Amino acid sequence: MSEAPDLFDAESRALLAARTAFGEEGDGGAHRHALGELLTAYERLLRETRRMVRRSDRAEFEMNQLNQRLQDLTGQLEYRATHDPLTGVLNRAAIIERSNRHLASGSLALIVLDIDHFKRVNDSFGHPVGDTVICGVVDCLKGVAPAVAQIGRVGGEEFTALLPGVSQEVAAQAAEQMRKAIAAHDFALPDRSRVTASFGVSWQAQGSGFDAAYGSADEALYQAKRRGRNQVARAALVEA
Ligand SMILES: Nc1nc2c(ncn2[C@@H]2O[C@H](COP(=O)(O)OP(=O)(O)OP(=O)(O)O)[C@@H](O)[C@H]2O)c(=O)[nH]1
């Protein structure tokens, strides 16, 4: 028979003693004593086992908590790396990454918009008021954007909406809804003036990239600004 492990030394000894006592012609007292020793040894073993189970439960609980915290922190880090802290929409890096990902598997319509004469808002009422206008514009965009749209802030007062698999025609209609929503919104500026934005809309076939999509939408946006602002301009379509 193999040797008993150290952990069970006391129990093994008690068991051996009990076997010996019961194997011999002993008196009742010796048997009772051996049984008592055995019982004590096994009660101790039971107590030790329960203590170890409790300790292992505690360790498992703590490990699960640490795991959860790690997952939360990873999620927070990922969120910060991909979102604009002021408005909560996607940041420039995330917009570039998603545009390229969409264009690798299909077409992409891209809307770029820029708040008109935004410098005046900052200069007249201060930066914090400018920030509330930026947030208000994002709220307007979210309110009317199609479900498929992914909204991002790519510059100070410049935003994009990605519309994967959507035609330029439909994207231009969505941009027009956005334009109307901003123009109709009361931004509660001290002089009661309205806020407007200009839009450029591009469409790229599968295989293109963010630079081409953004470049042509930005060119169209520039046209919208030149033509008097508060309007939507479409980029010339480039066939694949
Ligand atoms: N409040 C605030 N202002 C910002 C932020 N980022 C950029 N800006 C401001 O946005 C303004 C951009 O102004 P311009 O590029 O001259 O353009 P604009 O006045 O909007 O005029 P147009 O685009 O030609 O219609 C500047 O005053 C910047 O300081 C921001 O995070 N918060």
58, containing H or E segment: helix 28-82
Give the total number of structural domains in the chain.
2
**Residues sharing a CB contact under 8 Å with residue 155, sequence separation 6 or more, in sequence order:** 92, 114
Establish whether residue 119 lines the binding site of ligand 1, counting it when its CB lies within 6 angstroms of any ligand atom.
yes
Phi/psi of residue 160, nearest 5 degrees: -135, 155
Question: pTM value?
Answer: 0.81
pLDDT of amino acid 11: 79
Here the ipTM equals: 0.95
Asked if 74 and 122 sit in the same domain, the reply is no
Ligand 1: which residue has its CA nearest to atom 13?
Answer: 119
Asked if 125 and 62 sit in the same domain, the reply is no
Q: Is 109 helix (H, G, I), strand (E, B) or coil?
A: strand
pLDDT of amino acid 207: 97
pLDDT of amino acid 61: 97
Ligand 1: which residue has its CA nearest to atom 14?
Answer: 119
Is residue 84 included in any domain, yes or no?
no
Q: Which of 44, 78, 112 is the last residue of a domain?
A: 78
Mutation probe of ligand 1 site: the residue of 157, 198, 223, 226 with most atoms within 8 A of C-beta: 157
pLDDT of amino acid 23: 77
Asked if 45 and 105 sit in the same domain, the reply is no
Phi/psi of residue 107, nearest 5 degrees: -85, 165
Asked if 96 and 72 sit in the same domain, the reply is no
pLDDT digits (tens), the chain, 240 positions: 455 456 678 778 888 888 887 777 667 788 888 888 888 888 988 999 999 999 999 999 999 999 999 999 999 999 999 999 999 999 999 999 999 999 999 999 999 999 999 999 999 999 999 999 999 999 999 999 999 999 999 999 999 999 999 999 999 999 999 999 999 999 999 999 999 999 999 999 999 999 999 999 999 999 999 999 999 999 997 654
Asked if 72 and 157 sit in the same domain, the reply is no
Q: Which of 78, 103, 126 is the last residue of a domain?
A: 78
Range of the domain at 216: 92-234
Asked if 110 and 213 sit in the same domain, the reply is yes
Q: Which of 18, 43, 78 is the last residue of a domain?
A: 78
**Ligand 1 midpoint to CA 173 (Å):** 26
Q: What is the CATH number of the domain that holds 181?
A: 3.30.70.270
Asked if 132 and 39 sit in the same domain, the reply is no
Where does residue 149 rank: exposed (0-12), middle (13-18), buried (19+ CB within 10 A)?
A: buried
Asked if 114 and 218 sit in the same domain, the reply is yes
